[in-house]
């Protein structure tokens, strides 16, 4: 969003982006050094609400959840104006946003990954920046750097010039094209939502979301993401080719006079409210037990590991996989109008959560077995735990303790 400041020397009106709030700029006409005023965030009561424009009593989480589910349907409708199909990809991306996490998208060129992310940022009224990762990209090109500027009264000083990471939605396009040093520039921002440059820490605007893309076809001259950095992404989403009727619609839209305008359905402040809301969704004990069984049995060194894990997996998912399965299940439940998580939600989240957290070994690769194949077999091998099974197990434990 832009705002106008006036140069006191030549009275020129300058359009300045809010991301430059607090920085120094030069007037392009008279070269006068100007300090961009700090724009304070409006109070919650003064914010323009988009989704939560209904009268909701404080603490009425059930009513907020219903409004959130309705907002999600509107988001899909607005993005659908620009993007044909890809409903599962859009849903998983929205789930990651509401879970306060990040996404790694993988797909061949030409599947509208960038356009999809831009459309999502428009539907959510979020500031958007795109960084094209290349071999010569440096960390300062992402985070920003300190530049030497003249003071109005004479002398010089170091002024921090913000990089593109100071946006609410950042698209790291072809992230595996840059060396690890540049990839690592995102780590602090992804985890802490902060950027440290020159010993000074700068806080990013909330909500903050990184969506990275990579091309699975061409691997020459690429730098695969370290496993530790992959683990920072909640989902590894595969963007597939469209169906035949969808591709026909794509051709019709892109070669004709069709034009789509995506309208905002929810604001950034409301997304933060949603992120706080979904954490309150209760998770039954049998769902937590199912998540533990699913993750722990995929670790080849675990005592209860499945035979397929010992045969095909080099290393299995860590504790963050459990956290992301639960958080993804919570958001999915709310978006579907439910106030509790089921094992169906966990199964739906299994592939995008575990896909980049399971490493097939040499034997699996020789057999042509991918991580997706392993996850499918894992879901079939681990029985779903029912609520009454958990209750029965709890009663047996209490009875045993009494007898002891």
In-domain check, residue 328: yes
42 in a structural domain? no
Domain co-membership, 75 together with 200: yes
Structure-token pair, residue 95 = 């789930």
Instruction: Please count the other Cβ atoms lying within 10 Å of the Cβ belonging to residue 192.
Output: 13
* pLDDT for residue 351: 92
Residue whose C-alpha is closest to residue 205's, from 239, 170, 155:
170
Question: What CATH code is carried by the domain that includes residue 299?
Answer: 1.10.8.80
76 is a domain residue: yes
Domain count within the chain: 3
Q: What is the pLDDT of residue 352?
A: 92
**pLDDT class for 1, splitting at 50, 70, 90?**
very low
pLDDT at position 164:
87
> Per the domain annotation, does 52 fall within a domain?
no
Same domain, 289 and 390: yes
Task: Assess if residue 216 is contained within a domain.
Answer: yes
Over 80: is that where the pLDDT of 218 sits?
no
Q: Looking at the structure, do residues 238 and 293 belong to the same domain, yes or no? A: no
Residue 45 lies in a domain: no
My answer on whether 229 and 118 are in the same domain is: yes
pLDDT digits (tens, 9 = 90+) for 92-145: 888 998 888 899 988 888 787 888 888 888 888 888 888 888 888 888 888 888
Q: What is the mean pLDDT of residues 184-199?
A: 84
Running DSSP on this structure, what letter comes out for residue 169? Answer: E
> Are 321 and 177 part of one and the same domain?
no
CB 30 within 8 A of CB 39: no
Instruction: Give a yes or no: residue 71 inside a domain.
Output: yes
| 261 shares a domain with 193 | yes
Same domain as 159, residue 72: yes
128 occurs within a structural domain: yes
Percentage with pLDDT > 70 across the chain: 80
Q: What is the pTM of this model?
A: 0.76
Residue 376: domain span: 281-404
For residues 253 and 376, membership in a common domain is answered with no
Question: Do 335 and 204 share a domain, yes or no?
Answer: no
**What pLDDT, on a 0 to 100 scale, did the predictor assign at position 310?**
87
Judge if 193 and 306 occupy the same domain.
no
CA–CA distance from 138 to each of 132, 183, 266 (Å)?
11, 9, 34
Looking at the structure, tell me whether residues 170 and 204 fall in a common domain.
yes
pLDDT at 55: 53
pLDDT band for position 193 (50/70/90)? Answer: confident
pLDDT in tens, 370-391: 888 989 999 998 888 766 555 4
pLDDT at 388: 54
pLDDT at 299 over 50: yes
- Residue 52 has what pLDDT? 56
pLDDT in tens, 319-354: 899 999 999 999 999 888 888 889 999 999 999 999
> Same structural domain for residues 310 and 208?
no
């Amino acid at each position: 969003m832009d705002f106008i400041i006036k140069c006191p020397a030549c009275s020129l009106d300058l359009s300045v982006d809010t991301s430059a709030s607090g920085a120094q700029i030069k007037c392009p006409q008279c070269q006068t050094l100007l300090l961009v005023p700090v724009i304070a965030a409006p109070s919650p009561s003064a914010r323009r609400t988009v989704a939560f424009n209904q009268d909701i009593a404080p603490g009425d989480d059930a009513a907020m959840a219903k409004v959130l589910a309705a907002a999600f349907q509107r988001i899909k409708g607005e993005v659908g104006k620009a993007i044909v199909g890809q409903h599962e990809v859009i849903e998983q991306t929205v789930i990651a946003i509401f879970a306060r996490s990040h996404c790694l998208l993988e797909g061949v060129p030409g599947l509208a990954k960038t356009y999809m992310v831009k459309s999502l940022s428009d539907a959510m009224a979020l500031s958007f920046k795109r960084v094209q990762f290349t071999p010569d990209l440096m960390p300062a090109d992402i985070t920003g750097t300190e530049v030497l500027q003249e003071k109005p009264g004479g002398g010089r000083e170091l002024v921090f010039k913000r990089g593109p990471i100071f946006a609410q939605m950042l698209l790291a396009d072809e992230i595996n094209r840059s060396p690890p040093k540049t990839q690592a520039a995102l780590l602090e921002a992804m985890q802490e939502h902060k950027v440290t440059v020159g010993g000074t820490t700068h806080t990013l605007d909330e909500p903050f979301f990184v969506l990275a893309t990579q091309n699975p076809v061409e691997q020459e001259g690429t730098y695969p993401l370290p496993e530790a950095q992959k683990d920072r992404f909640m989902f590894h989403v595969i963007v597939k080719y469209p169906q035949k009727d969808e591709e026909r619609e794509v051709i019709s839209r892109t070669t004709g006079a069709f034009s789509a305008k995506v309208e905002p359905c929810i604001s950034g402040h409301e997304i933060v409210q949603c992120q706080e809301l979904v954490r309150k969704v209760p998770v039954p004990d049998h769902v937590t037990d199912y998540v533990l069984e699913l993750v722990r049995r995929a670790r080849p060194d675990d005592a209860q590991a499945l035979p397929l894990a010992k045969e095909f997996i080099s290393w299995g998912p860590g504790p963050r996989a459990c956290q992301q399965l639960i958080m993804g299940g919570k958001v999915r439940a709310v978006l579907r109008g439910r106030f509790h998580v089921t094992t169906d939600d966990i199964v739906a989240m299994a592939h995008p959560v575990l896909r980049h957290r399971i490493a097939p070994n040499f034997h699996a690769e020789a057999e042509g077995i991918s991580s997706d194949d392993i996850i499918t077999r894992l879901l079939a091998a681990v029985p779903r735990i029912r609520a009454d099974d958990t209750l029965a197990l709890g009663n047996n434990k209490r009875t045993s303790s009494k007898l002891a």
